[in-house]
Amino acid sequence: MTDTLSSRSAKTGALSPRLITEIPGPESQKLHARRQATVSGGVSATFPVYAAHAHDAIIVDVDGNQFLDLTGGIGVMTIGHTNDAVVDAIAEQAAKVTHTLFAVAGYEPYIEVCELLARHTPGDFAKKSVLVNSGAEAVENAVKIARKHTGRTEIAVLHHGYHGRTNLTSAMNYNMHPYGTGFGPLAGSVHHAPNSSPFHDGLSGEEAAERTITHLEKRVGASQIACLVVEPIQGEGGFIVPAKGYLPALLKWCHDNGIVYVSDEVQSGMARTGSYFASDHFGIVPDMVTSAKGIGGGMPIAAVTGRAEIMDSSHPGGLGGTFGGNPVSCAAVVAVFSEVERLGLLAEAKRIEKTLMSGLDGLKNRFPHVADVRGIGAMIAIEFHDPATGKPSADIAKALQAYALQQGVLILTAGSFGNVLRFLPSLVITDSQLEEAVAVMAAGLESL
């Protein structure tokens, strides 16, 4: 940990979880009652606590309880909560211009973001970007562009993938419940193929790729497919890291068959895994990359970045929207990129991997409920099963999540069977904070 980071955390005096009321506290309970009267029940509430303010890896709720945040706003707060430089950039830009609509009157921050994305996404060729508002919107646009570029209609995705909650992206998700059930008809022309999940399928990268490709060739036909959309590390699916050689084999097949390879890096991108984009770990250079969660330091913004000739296949007016590439969000992205460099956060992600992997491997050795520990950088998961049957156990993941909450630690579940806990902390989280979190997990497993 650098001095800068710890002194910034010390500024708010909060480094450890500290609970001063029952959880949820009285003020959170009041807000929860107001929420239930007025917020749609379709929006879930993982934790019944309400945030007042936050810094680095600590969230303070409206009752003054301090929580250690391992959720990072689902991988959004890569830079840490209320990073000084990001907050300043937002305030400065808000006082200059908050909106013109880029297509009406442009502004420099939009162009700067596209330049940064061109520089930091994989691939050494001319790249262009379009900026939008959410990860799902980025995926929608990637598909639109790939269809226009290829003149083809069909979309290929992988089992256990997640791409959003719009009509098209819901159809692209593996889990129909809760994302699609009852909301149909969902978009058609989406084809789901088996993925690579070495812990579960035991296949080598080559074997898994052959299974995926055979499925798509038989069920769809390579010549019909506009794009293959793949998360290099599956996020909601449970931080599934594909076997070595899997992604390069898919990429080669795409290129042999005129299919656009889209890497959905909405969760894995922006320094999260110790590289700017996770595709780098697998030696692949995608045709298009979607990014969103971590790039704006909490501000809503997303992007599709790709080969210039593909990105230019849309006619003028075909891409965009009212708020896409908002100037304040763009200013935040520019500050996030510069803070990642200044604080050396790519190296911090590798430090986090080391600390978490050794802590969680320790749990795996002690508790037969732990089936697997995996991940890259600050994207680490622990998967649970019933030791007697070997079946996925969502109950253990849920019980541990509830136990951690009562100890002041916020952590998310994941996995198509809900049996995974995922660590997605800010890259400024300290080793002692991580060790504290692992100790809470150990005590929780002990108590089960």
Residues lying near ligand PLP in the complex (CB under 6 A): 134-136, 139, 162-164, 231, 235, 264, 266-267, 292-293
Rounded distance between C-alpha atoms, residue 330 and residue 114, angstroms:
9
Nearer to ligand PLP, 292 or 352 (CB): 292
The least CB distance from residue 217 to ligand PLP, in Å, is 25
Nearer to ligand PLP, 54 or 136 (CB): 136
The least CB distance from residue 378 to ligand PLP, in Å, is 14
Nearer to ligand PLP, 152 or 293 (CB): 293
The least CB distance from residue 94 to ligand PLP, in Å, is 22
327, 334 Cβ separation under 8 angstroms: no
The least CB distance from residue 368 to ligand PLP, in Å, is 31
188: exposed, middle or buried (Cβ count in 10 Å: 0-12, 13-18, 19+):
exposed
Nearer to ligand PLP, 142 or 396 (CB): 142
205-219 and 246-256 helices cross at what angle (nearest 10)?
40
The least CB distance from residue 232 to ligand PLP, in Å, is 9
Nearer to ligand PLP, 134 or 212 (CB): 134
The least CB distance from residue 327 to ligand PLP, in Å, is 19
Nearer to ligand PLP, 251 or 303 (CB): 303
Nearer to ligand PLP, 271 or 292 (CB): 292
The least CB distance from residue 366 to ligand PLP, in Å, is 31
By beta carbon distance, the residue nearest ligand PLP is 135
